[in-house]
A and B are shown apart, each in its own frame.
Chain A
Amino acid sequence: MSRIPLRLNVNGTPYDIEVEHRKTLVDALREDCGLTGTHSGCEHGVCGACTIVFDGRPIRSCLMFAHQAADRPIRTVEGLADGERLHVLQTAFMENHALQCGFCTPGFLMLVVGAFESDPEIADDEIVDLLSSNLCRCTGYQNIVKAVRSVAAELRRNASAAGATGLTEVAAGGHSNA
């Protein structure tokens, strides 16, 4: 099958790659961009290991094709730390023992970062519901919930300061009285 050129913008860096139309975004990130921080688990949208931030929203990168993401902003776990300085959420995961084997961790980090940026007003009781999106099969969820709660206020502040668009505005932007 023919490979078609496209550009992926990942964490602010352009990657000019050539892939088949059928290649999923997670496979293109890992195999063609060499960014193996995003993990591939179930490959059908259930486990959440491949969660990334696309166009400012957390999505499953196994349920999109790479060509659909061409020229649009993509963020992966590689873009969270600032040099040697970890993102506050990464530090919180360390301090709260929110990971053991680490396979699900990149997906959880991007899920939470993307959710707070999409909706900085996300309520405390919605955090548990949010974290039920992804599967962890060794650490258990208690410490992941604890880690996220410990920095929720800071994530909200950072998202608001960065002028997070927020889903409400996305919806309202497309909403008018005809």
Chain B
Amino acid sequence: MKPAPFELHRPSTVNEALRLLADLSDDGGLILAGGQSLVPIMALRLAYPPHLIDINEIAGLDRIRTDADHLIIGATARHAYLHKPVVDNPVGRLLSEMSHHIAHYPIRMRGTFCGSLAHADPASEWCLAAATLDAEIVLASVKETRTVAVTEYLAGAMTTAREQDEMLVEVRLPLLAEAAQFGFYEFNRRAGDFALGMCAATFEVIDGTMTNVRIGIGGIEEVPRRLTDAEQVLEGQRPGERLFADAGAAAAACVDPLEDAVTNALYRRDLTAVVVSRALAGAHNATVNMGGGDV
């Protein structure tokens, strides 16, 4: 349970990190951010990079900021920075709710939002948030900086569009309309475990009917994604439990579920309907409880 030998590099600027990456990535050099996934993988000798480029010393890289219509999360911003809403927008509150489902407290103190996107585990809460909100991923190398849509970025389980000489420098999450309602529901057998299935959902209710519906699922397929089939069931309709069940059924019908040692595809398909309808009900009921709505 000891990592194989490697050389640790500790750049103090992004440019220095990118130069190191250009020199070392051909030999298998990797970026080390929070290390809460990479270091266990190294301890288990599933990975043995000869070089690690530690970006934790780069000043300002953990910044979370906003522009007119985005929340922008820097490469070393920790999960725990999002425990409380960082922006007065439904996105801030959605991320706050989701953050508490990531592993455990000390892991959230060290692990990073962008690291989760770089790792791209199918059960990553932040990959789900990015997919649901149509995030943009900013990748930099010594040659260029490019912005990639999340649908193009997440290419498969633990697989992304990032080239080996590129560093994920920030993630840009579009803000939601102030009136947007949101819900999140995750199922796993023990708190802190990888999600077996989860759903993030948001919509607005205008004149009694739902619009701008987003339904994202994670932990079900290789890659978290929006389910347009299920979204279409809700668009223009009045919110209600029966309709949410219909959306859940539509979601279950269109997924290609993962299988593992303890769950088969049938189970995860069934779970899809459950997490989708519960996330939608959560979004709806939060507003009802605050005095809005009429159901």
> When the two chains form their complex, are residues A59 and B110 in contact, meaning their CB atoms are under 8 A apart?
yes
Q: Is A21 an interface residue (CB 8 A)?
A: yes
Given contacts A59-B110, A177-B66, contact A171 B84 (CB under 8 A): yes
Bound-state CA distance A128–B192 (Å) is 13
> When the two chains form their complex, are residues A63 and B40 in contact, meaning their CB atoms are under 8 A apart?
yes
Closest residue to B51 on the A side, CB-wise? A21
> When the two chains form their complex, are residues B64 and A175 in contact, meaning their CB atoms are under 8 A apart?
yes
> When the two chains form their complex, are residues A129 and B6 in contact, meaning their CB atoms are under 8 A apart?
no
Q: Which of A110-163 contact B (CB under 8 A)?
A: 111, 114-115, 118-119, 129-130, 132-134
Q: Is B56 an interface residue (CB 8 A)?
A: yes
> When the two chains form their complex, are residues B107 and A60 in contact, meaning their CB atoms are under 8 A apart?
yes
Which of A167, A168, A177 is most buried by chain B, counting CB atoms within 10 A of its CB? A167
Instruction: Collect the chain A residues with CB atoms within 8 Å of residue B10's CB.
Output: 67-68
The listed residue (A64, A172, A178) touching B39 by CB distance below 8 A is A64
Please encode chain A, from 7 to 49, with 1 for each CB lying within 8 Å of some chain B CB and 0 for all others. Answer: 0000000000000111010010000000000000011110010
Chain B nearest CB, measured from A25 CB (Å) = 10
The listed residue (A27, A115, A176) touching B105 by CB distance below 8 A is A115
Instruction: Collect the chain B residues with CB atoms within 8 Å of residue A133's CB.
Output: 104-107, 192
> When the two chains form their complex, are residues A174 and B77 in contact, meaning their CB atoms are under 8 A apart?
yes
Bound-state CA distance A115–B104 (Å) is 12
> When the two chains form their complex, are residues B1 and A68 in contact, meaning their CB atoms are under 8 A apart?
no
Bound-state CA distance A48–B103 (Å) is 12
Residues of A within 8 A of B (CB): 1, 20-22, 24, 27, 42-45, 48, 51, 57-60, 62-65, 67-68, 111, 114-115, 118-119, 129-130, 132-134, 167-168, 170-172, 174-178
6 A-B pairs (CB sep. < 8 Å): A21-B52, A22-B4, A63-B40, A111-B106, A114-B106, A167-B84
